[in-house]
């Protein structure tokens, strides 16, 4: 008959001294990290960089404590319960079955930690989604292998340098014209993917003057490593002077001649002939796709006042507060198509024309049908 071996009992020699040591190491880690100022190594150039640093500290503190205890006990138990020369090959180690209190602890502690992390993270995330009405909105477009920045009052994009006023709220709409790029501003502590046809939004308030990096964090081709832009944060007066100089240097927006008419003798409401698209043949469903690819970075589908870079386009034909389009013409399908052809430059900004937007006659017809459908 086989010999029976009673299982070992107890938590092993040295368990409590090791527990005290791991606790002391955890406290030291939490205190040291809490007293460390990340801005010493990486400046905080905007709000909410400080909040993101605090969140990172909390995550690193909690993660560090878990790491210390898990690996500390792993090392301790490996030595405390190692096979010794006098042990029988059939000896049974310490049994931990049917320990409800221990199993409950394994469930409750991680749950509390995850809930707490989620609560703090959501508080910061919610703040990032709130944009004051007076925020400067800039569109950032990634190309292989450079950045373009579009300002509401300029008809030409600014390449590689994002100029921003100090202590003024900013909204940056990021997208891409070709492949997936990354927009990462380490000193701002914000990052977003630049995806063709998709607009991601970053909101922050610059608080520290200086020149900082914009780094592409998605492999986008052979020159990916050289795709580095700049954020220039400057006093408001300096920013206005720079913006005025840019506007003076680029001159007035060019008027591009309209393409050959697709409908004979088409006339827009402002008078005169114009090459308007055959709006009656437009497909609203296809227009929605064109809108997402070419228009959504600057326009929402809400009301006029729901602005991104330009006004909202959701109720062009039935907005009693704005019965006319930005050109002064009465809102109609033909007038909408006319603006899509010729573009617009005026007090509220600049909208690219058909050539600059790289859209076809069919795209204009579909876009017009989609915008008209939003007013129904």
Residue 312: CATH number of its domain: 1.10.760.10
The predicted pLDDT at position 94 comes to: 66
* CA pair distance 359, 357, nearest whole angstrom: 6
Angle between helix 361-373 and 284-294 (nearest 10): 100
The predicted pLDDT at position 301 comes to: 83
Same domain, 116 and 142: no
Q: What is the CATH number of the domain that holds 214?
A: 2.60.40.420
Look up the pTM and report it. 0.64
* CA pair distance 257, 306, nearest whole angstrom: 31
Q: In tens digits, what is the pLDDT along the chain, a chain of 376 residues?
A: 445 545 555 566 788 899 999 999 999 999 999 999 988 889 999 999 999 999 999 999 999 999 999 999 999 988 887 777 777 777 776 666 666 777 788 889 889 999 999 999 999 888 888 766 678 889 899 999 999 998 888 878 899 999 999 999 999 989 888 899 999 999 999 999 999 878 888 999 999 999 999 999 999 999 999 999 999 999 999 999 999 999 888 777 554 333 333 333 334 444 444 444 455 678 888 888 888 888 877 788 888 877 777 788 888 888 887 778 888 888 888 888 888 888 887 666 667 777 767 788 888 888 888 888 888 7
Structural domain contains residue 93: no
Residue 117 belongs to domain spanning = 15-77+98-128
Same domain, 297 and 206: no
Same domain, 236 and 151: yes
Same domain, 294 and 215: no
Structural domain contains residue 3: no
For the chain, strand residue ranges (E) read 46-47, 136-143, 146-150, 158-159, 161-165, 170-176, 181-185, 190-194, 200-206, 210-215, 228-234, 344-346, 349-351
When divided into structural domains, the chain yields a total of 3
């Amino acid at each position: 008959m086989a010999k029976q071996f009673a299982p070992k009992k107890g938590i092993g020699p040295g368990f409590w001294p090791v527990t005290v040591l791991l606790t002391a190491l955890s406290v030291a880690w939490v205190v040291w990290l809490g007293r460390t100022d990340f801005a010493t190594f990486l400046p905080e150039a905007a709000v909410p960089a400080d909040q993101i640093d605090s969140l990172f500290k909390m995550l690193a503190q909690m993660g560090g404590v878990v790491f210390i205890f898990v690996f500390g006990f792993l090392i301790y138990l490996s030595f405390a319960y190692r096979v010794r020369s006098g042990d029988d090959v059939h000896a049974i180690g310490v049994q931990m079955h049917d320990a409800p209190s221990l199993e409950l602890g394994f469930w409750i502690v991680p749950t509390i930690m995850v809930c707490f992390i989620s609560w703090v993270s959501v508080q910061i995330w919610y703040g990032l989604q709130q944009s004051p009405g007076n925020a400067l909105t800039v569109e950032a477009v990634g190309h292989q292998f450079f950045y373009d920045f579009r300002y509401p009052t300029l008809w030409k994009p600014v390449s590689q340098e994002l100029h921003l006023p100090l202590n003024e709220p900013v909204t940056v709409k990021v997208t891409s014209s070709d492949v997936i790029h990354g927009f990462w501003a380490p000193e701002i502590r914000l990052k977003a993917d630049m995806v063709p046809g998709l607009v991601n939004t970053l909101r922050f308030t610059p608080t520290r003057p200086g020149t900082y990096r914009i780094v592409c964090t998605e492999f986008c081709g052979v020159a990916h490593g050289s795709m580095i832009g700049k954020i220039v944060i400057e006093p408001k007066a300096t920013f206005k002077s720079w913006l005025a100089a840019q506007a003076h240097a680029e001159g007035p927006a060019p008027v591009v001649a309209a393409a050959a008419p697709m409908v004979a003798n088409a006339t827009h409401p402002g008078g005169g002939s114009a090459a308007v698209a055959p709006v009656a043949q437009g497909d609203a469903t296809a227009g929605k796709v064109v809108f997402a690819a070419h228009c959504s970075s600057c326009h929402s589908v809400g009301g006029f006042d729901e602005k991104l870079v330009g006004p909202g386009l959701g109720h062009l034909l039935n907005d009693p507060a704005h019965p006319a389009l930005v050109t002064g013409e009465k809102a109609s399908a033909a007038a909408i198509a006319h603006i899509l052809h010729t573009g617009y430059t005026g007090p509220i900004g600049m909208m690219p024309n058909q050539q600059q937007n790289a859209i076809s006659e069919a795209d204009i017809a579909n876009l017009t049908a989609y915008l008209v459908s939003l007013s129904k």
